[in-house]
Structure 1
Amino acid sequence: MISQNSNRSAIVFGATGSVGTALARNLAEDGARLLLAGRSTERLRDLGDELDSPTVEVDSSRPDSFKEAFREASESIGPIHAVANCIGSVLLKPAHLTTDDDWAATMQVNAFSSFAILREAAAAMRSSGGSIVLFSSAAVRIGLPNHEAIAAAKGAVEGLVKSAAATYAARGIRVNAIAPGLVKSEMTRRIWESETSAAASEQMHALGRLGEPEDVAGMAAWLMDPANSWVTGQVIGVDGGLASVVARRRGS
């Protein structure tokens, strides 16, 4: 977490999503000055009112909107010390059923947004350093059926993290990513609201439960904390053991 006396400024992209909202609340509780960026106008306004933070609308199909967000941040909350990109999507289709539009949209929302945000964040932090947190997926590390497009998009994010961490380390800019398992968010509601799908997913996670937004948000806040300034170039699994542990059946 960002300590009360650090007086840090952060941008949370995708702030109206389940993980983004949890992260924004976490950071605000610890005294960070925030700019909240998202696509849902009404939800963004409500969250901004709740946290007494300025807001800005962004659209992953318009890279210039990210540039505008950083310009707004410099005017409203000052120099930026941390940025998190919680923008994302989930596409569960086998490759032969994935259309060109599906593929392009999945790459746009997940990979292209991460690159555009990192590009602006690196420019903003070049003289002072800071932390950039992106999001991958456990699906990059373990073969899961029907995840071809999203695994490819998130794999691109992991490559981006490694290279950018090397590029900007000398300037004190840390770049890391989180690779969650299945988190109970609005984006994945269709999966976890089905008893059958939820039960099957729980069995795949060694800890026997699905993730909560706060599980992931806590790690993002930790990576954004300047107290953890010796961590960069990492992709950290917050996945209940999905990608690294073979779960035992209950009762075995």
Structure 2
Amino acid sequence: MTPSAYSAPVMDSRSTFKEDIFLGKVLFCTGGGSGICKGMTEAIMRHGANAAIIGRNLDRLTQASKELAEKTGKVCIPLQADVRQPQTLRDAVRKAIEKFGRIDFVICGAAGNFMSPIAALSENAFRTVIEIDTLGTYNTVKATISHVREAKGAYIHVSATLHYRGTPYQIHVSAAKAGVDAISNVIAVEEGPHGVRSNVLAPGFTTGTEGMRVMTGKKTNKAEGFSNPLGRFTEIQDVANAAVYLFSPAACYLTGQVIPIDGGAEHLRGDFFPYPSSVINPSSVETLLKAKI
């Protein structure tokens, strides 16, 4: 009988880390109303932190904050802001400080993505993704850095692995996420002497997220036809576990790092689509292409 390949389990961070390691700490998370960032926020809260989640859709934020508070027993407040507009972020930070008195951890997670060939991608669409991902990260850091310094806290920036190689139809996100990685590296060296750490998490294909739907059209964790040393797609919990570690005292000497959370898939990554036919004839993958910004 041919042996079956290993598939990694999905673990709860509480099986490894004490539940009170973030007691008294406060998390400020952009993009925290859904997906990966909501999952990271929940994990940090399960270990004792209170949180403020930031986004443009107040209704979604309000519902998410209610769910997070009910699941964790901690306080989560929704704060409406657009990371492209610095004043709205400064207002959100002020409200978080008024509520909690401090900000220890920041997750810069607001992002946008879609598939588009360069020929169909408008200048406005390219600029919008840069503004959300790259400028949004910078604006979030500017609005929070004095408080993170005071707390001797840490940043996590949510990136991707798309720019490690050329990825068709992803020029906008590749450029934006490369900028995010660079921002984190500079924060690490400039703010390290002030006691601030900064790292990047780069999730692979993550089930149950909009990014998974955009990139693959799939919402499953079954990895048929997908090469991954650990046998499955990334789960939100995998990214959340890495966030718990990076914010924990166990990572007190870890800064300026970019950490893919992809089960080793990047080492095996080929082309996302048939190549070169998919770039010669974009209509062959038109169900995944979208450039409406």
- TM-score (normalised: structure 1): 0.88
In the alignment, structure 1 residue 67 sits paired with structure 2 residue 83: no
Does the CA contact (< 8 Å) of 2:28 and 2:107 recur in 1?
yes
In the alignment, structure 1 residue 226 sits paired with structure 2 residue 213: no
Quick one: distance in 2 between partners of 1:12 and 1:213?
Answer: 15
In the alignment, structure 1 residue 89 sits paired with structure 2 residue 89: no
Unmatched 5+ stretches in structure 2: 1-16, 70-74, 271-293
Quick one: distance in 2 between partners of 1:122 and 1:104?
Answer: 25
In the alignment, structure 1 residue 11 sits paired with structure 2 residue 28: yes
Does the CA contact (< 8 Å) of 2:33 and 2:64 recur in 1?
yes
1:102-141 equivalences in 2 (<5 Å): 102-141=125-164
Report the counterpart of residue 236 of structure 1 in structure 2: 259
Overall identity of the aligned pairs, in %: 23
Following superposition, the deviation at residue 241 of structure 1 comes to 1.7
Following superposition, the deviation at residue 49 of structure 1 comes to 2.0
Quick one: distance in 2 between partners of 1:181 and 1:213?
Answer: 10
In the alignment, structure 1 residue 145 sits paired with structure 2 residue 161: no
- Matched residue type, 1:148: I
Quick one: distance in 2 between partners of 1:57 and 1:133?
Answer: 20
Q: Cα 1:208–1:226, aligned 2, differ >3 Å: closer, same or farther? A: same
Report the counterpart of residue 27 of structure 1 in structure 2: 44
Report the counterpart of residue 186 of structure 1 in structure 2: 210
Does the CA contact (< 8 Å) of 2:113 and 2:211 recur in 1?
yes
Quick one: distance in 1 between partners of 2:253 and 2:118?
Answer: 39
- Matched residue type, 2:201: I
Following superposition, the deviation at residue 193 of structure 1 comes to 4.1
Of the structure 1 ranges 230-239 and 137-146, higher mean CA displacement relative to structure 2 is found in 137-146
Following superposition, the deviation at residue 192 of structure 1 comes to 4.4
- TM-score (normalised: structure 2): 0.76
Does the CA contact (< 8 Å) of 2:29 and 2:52 recur in 1?
yes
Quick one: distance in 1 between partners of 2:210 and 2:218?
Answer: 13
Does the CA contact (< 8 Å) of 2:39 and 2:237 recur in 1?
yes
Report the counterpart of residue 250 of structure 1 in structure 2: none
SS in structure 2 opposite 1:4?
coil
Report the counterpart of residue 171 of structure 1 in structure 2: 194
Of the structure 1 ranges 99-108 and 32-41, higher mean CA displacement relative to structure 2 is found in 32-41
Q: Cα 1:205–1:98, aligned 2, differ >3 Å: closer, same or farther? A: farther
Cα distance per residue 1:146-200 (max 9 Å; x no partner) = 11111010000111111111000000100111111121203432444459xx868
1:40-79 equivalences in 2 (<5 Å): 40-50=57-67, 51=69, 52-79=75-102
Quick one: distance in 2 between partners of 1:96 and 1:70?
Answer: 39
Quick one: distance in 1 between partners of 2:79 and 2:18?
Answer: 22
Quick one: distance in 1 between partners of 2:214 and 2:269?
Answer: 25
In the alignment, structure 1 residue 160 sits paired with structure 2 residue 200: no
SS in structure 2 opposite 1:92?
coil
Following superposition, the deviation at residue 41 of structure 1 comes to 1.7
Quick one: distance in 2 between partners of 1:194 and 1:138?
Answer: 18
Following superposition, the deviation at residue 127 of structure 1 comes to 3.0
Larger Rg: 2
Cα distance per residue 1:82-124 (max 9 Å; x no partner) = 0101211113222222111110111011111111111222222
Cα RMSD for the two superposed structures: 2.3
Number of positions where the alignment pairs a residue of Structure 1 with one of Structure 2: 245
Following superposition, the deviation at residue 54 of structure 1 comes to 1.6
Quick one: distance in 1 between partners of 2:163 and 2:18?
Answer: 29
Unmatched 5+ stretches in structure 1: 248-252
